[in-house]
């Protein structure tokens, strides 16, 4: 493990593989004749890694040129981090000095890549011969030069490329040209002056369906905490809806001091459980389980039960403490105390969190603090947790997260980190750049056609697509959006379709499937929130939308177009209350954004992009209802209503 000796060196360590690190003869030199520039993708001059998943084919391009008329060759050099040997993938000339190549990413780990270019002496000779022969010029003196280049390549490679007495036609043959491109002599060999990084994650990094549950609210006894055994009993219902990730808020002992009561009351009444985000008490800290939920063996049984249903557990990592967390006594140097000796609790005026104290990352003892948090993460990894949702990472130092994520993933590249940062755009982007696998977004508050189109175009078409993977939560324990409060069940249907079909990562907080929309006055806080009390839910209560959510997750799983969140395309329709889009021009979604009344629109199918024509007979396969329609032409009329606000379909040519 790399020790965090100081913040600056930790950041430097994280970026070390992105620095210039070429030995003699490997980088641009004084007088180099080849220029390599405008390499893409490259993030902030190589300071940060781009992101992909296993199985992706990464297309890389750059502008490569030199003086004169000689022909160039170029290749992508790439290797898994820590390897000593470079692999090579050829690049091809595209247009206007732009070269393009592709590498396949087959392992869940970090890769490094750069570009190498050279003057291809044989290709340059061939080019001159073709032009001279077209001009009917004498080639007598040129032929020995070509033969000499071939003979030199044969001597180095041990291959037979052409007969010793080969003529011009034989030397220009396709097989000879291909062989010489591979092993012919190269001059002016030049490498791009940076080595860049790719974080290659497993598929769940960009395609998963999350269900957030409060473990203590999964039982049937009012006024009493449920246990992990009760949670196991709920898993079949959640799995049946098609979710593959169970996300748990903190499961640790809850502080007694300054415990919050019902509806965030500053004083808890006897028997009230407090907020699980006030972590730690005499019963233990971040590496302990609240006794009301069960034991560590019970948690292991829960993790195993999830795995048996092809689901994994995501756990909240909240780097904060209750005032009576064991760390406060054991490591007072990790906290801030006021002049009167009282500990400074958390606040974000006007909000106050009297039941929480923040750790002090400015402490001179910060290396030990960093190490302790690292050990918490590795503790839960050993217990089967491979996904962490990180609470408020934007309130902790960027170098800390960069160090922590890299240290963890250097040993376990399968571990994923979700950034829960509803903050300024550049801060959210920086957290994604420095290593967070997934990111919360502003999706929760984007409701009308213009803002949805603008925001998702930004996420899928601009630079952020290389490093920020948007996680589309419809709601959270802290956020009951106004749209859901005001629009009732139709609004829940609309947001479910948007969350499930606009991206690859989709999540709901329990109660969403029940259309729970009771809020405290003039706020986005749930009334009687389970953050502060035990609750018992009727998971099948009338008016639920479980069947819709089940259908949406089924459609996502059975149509591979949803796995690449960057393939989103918006298409024209003539109603500002209707959104029409597709995933890779393979699955189409027409969705009313109006929870209060019916909407009709004319949509234009992108038939030419689909390889079809305006006059083709088409079959429309409705993926929600299972029905089909036979239509002709690209322009079609659709009607949607609040009870069935979406049409999700594929298109086939009949004949």
Residues 6+ apart with CB under 8 A from 350: none
Sheet with strand 646-653: strands edge to edge: 568-570, 578-583, 587-592, 646-653, 617-622, 628-632
Nearest to 455 by CA among 446, 463, 464, 467: 446
φ, ψ at 334 (rounded to 5°): -90, 5
Q: Is 8 exposed, middle or buried (0-12, 13-18, 19+ CB in 10 A)?
A: exposed
CA–CA separation, 62 and 73 (whole Å): 13
Q: How many CB atoms lie within 10 A of CB 221?
A: 10
Report CA 342 to chain centroid distance, whole Å: 41
Catalytic residues: 391, 420
CA–CA separation, 422 and 73 (whole Å): 47
Judge contact between 248 and 314, C-beta under 8 A: yes
Q: Is 422 exposed, middle or buried (0-12, 13-18, 19+ CB in 10 A)?
A: middle
User: Which residue's structure tokens are 């390599």?
Assistant: 36
CA–CA separation, 322 and 320 (whole Å): 7
51 in helix, strand or coil?
A: strand
436 in helix, strand or coil?
A: coil
CA triple 259-263-266, angle to 5 deg: 35
Nearest to 146 by CA among 159, 130, 135: 130
Judge contact between 243 and 208, C-beta under 8 A: no
CA–CA separation, 278 and 338 (whole Å): 20
User: Which whole-number Å values give the CA distances from 190 to 22, 43, 115, 184, in the listed order?
Assistant: 11, 21, 8, 16
CA–CA separation, 151 and 148 (whole Å): 5
Nearest to 498 by CA among 469, 474, 468, 462: 474
């Amino acid at each position: 493990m790399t020790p965090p000796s100081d913040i600056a060196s930790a950041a430097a360590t994280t970026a070390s593989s992105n620095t210039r690190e070429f030995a003699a003869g490997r980088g641009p030199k004084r007088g180099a004749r080849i220029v390599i520039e405008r390499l893409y993708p490259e993030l902030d001059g190589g300071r940060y890694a781009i992101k992909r998943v296993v199985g992706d084919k990464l297309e890389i391009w750059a502008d490569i040129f030199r003086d004169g008329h000689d022909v160039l060759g170029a290749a992508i050099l790439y290797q898994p981090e820590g390897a000593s040997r470079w692999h090579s993938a050829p690049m091809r000339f595209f247009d206007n000095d732009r070269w393009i190549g592709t590498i396949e990413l087959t392992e869940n780990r970090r890769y490094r890549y750069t570009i190498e270019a050279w003057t291809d002496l044989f290709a340059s000779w061939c080019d001159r011969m073709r032009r001279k022969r077209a001009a009917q010029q004498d080639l007598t003196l040129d032929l020995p030069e070509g033969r000499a280049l071939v003979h030199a390549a044969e001597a180095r490679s041990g291959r037979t490329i052409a007969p010793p007495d080969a003529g011009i036609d034989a030397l220009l043959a396709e097989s000879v040209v291909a062989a010489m491109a591979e092993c012919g002599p190269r001059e002016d060999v030049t490498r791009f002056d940076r080595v860049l990084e790719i974080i290659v994650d497993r598929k769940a990094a960009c395609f998963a369906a999350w269900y957030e549950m409060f473990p203590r609210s999964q039982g049937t006894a009012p006024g009493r905490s449920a246990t992990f055994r009760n949670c196991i009993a709920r898993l079949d219902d959640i799995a049946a809806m098609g979710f593959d990730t169970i996300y748990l808020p903190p499961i640790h002992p809850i502080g007694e001091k300054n415990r919050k009561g019902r509806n965030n009351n500053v004083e808890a009444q006897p028997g009230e459980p407090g907020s699980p985000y006030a972590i730690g008490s005499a019963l233990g800290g971040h590496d302990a389980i609240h006794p009301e939920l069960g034991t560590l063996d019970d948690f292991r049984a829960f993790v195993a039960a999830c795995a048996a249903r092809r689901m994994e557990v995501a756990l909240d990592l909240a780097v904060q403490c209750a005032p009576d967390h064991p760390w406060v006594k054991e490591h007072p140097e990790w906290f801030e105390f006021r002049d009167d000796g009282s500990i400074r609790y958390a606040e974000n005026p006007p909000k106050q969190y009297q039941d929480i104290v923040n750790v002090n990352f400015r402490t001179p003892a910060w290396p030990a603090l960093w190490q302790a948090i690292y050990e918490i993460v590795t503790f839960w990894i050993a217990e089967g947790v491979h996904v962490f949702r990180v609470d408020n990472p934007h309130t902790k130092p960027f170098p800390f997260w960069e160090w922590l994520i890299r240290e963890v993933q250097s040993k376990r590249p399968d571990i994923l980190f979700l950034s829960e940062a509803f903050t300024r755009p550049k801060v959210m982007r920086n957290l994604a750049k420095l290593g967070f696998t997934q990111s919360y977004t502003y999706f929760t508050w984007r409701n009308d056609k213009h803002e949805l189109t603008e925001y998702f175009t930004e996420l899928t078409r601009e630079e952020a697509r290389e490093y920020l993977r948007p996680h589309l939560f419809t709601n959270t324990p802290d956020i009951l959006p106004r749209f859901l409060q005001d629009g009732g069940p139709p609004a829940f249907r609309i947001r479910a379709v948007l969350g499930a079909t606009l991206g690859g990562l989709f999540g709901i907080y329990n109660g969403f499937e029940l259309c729970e929309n009771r809020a405290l006055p003039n706020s986005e806080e749930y009334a009687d929130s389970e953050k502060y009390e035990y609750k018992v839910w009727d998971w099948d209560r009338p008016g639920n939308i479980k069947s819709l959510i089940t259908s949406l997750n089924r459609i996502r799983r059975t149509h591979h177009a949803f796995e690449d969140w960057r393939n989103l395309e918006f298409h024209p329709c003539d109603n500002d209350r209707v959104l029409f889009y597709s995933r890779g021009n393979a699955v189409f979604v027409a969705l009313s954004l109006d929870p209060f009344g019916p909407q009709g629109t004319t949509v234009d199918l992108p038939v030419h992009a689909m390889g079809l024509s305006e006059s083709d007979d088409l079959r429309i396969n409705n993926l929600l209802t299972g029905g089909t329609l036979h239509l002709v032409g690209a322009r079609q009329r659709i009607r949607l209503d609040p009870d069935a606000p979406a049409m999700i379909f594929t298109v086939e040519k009949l004949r």
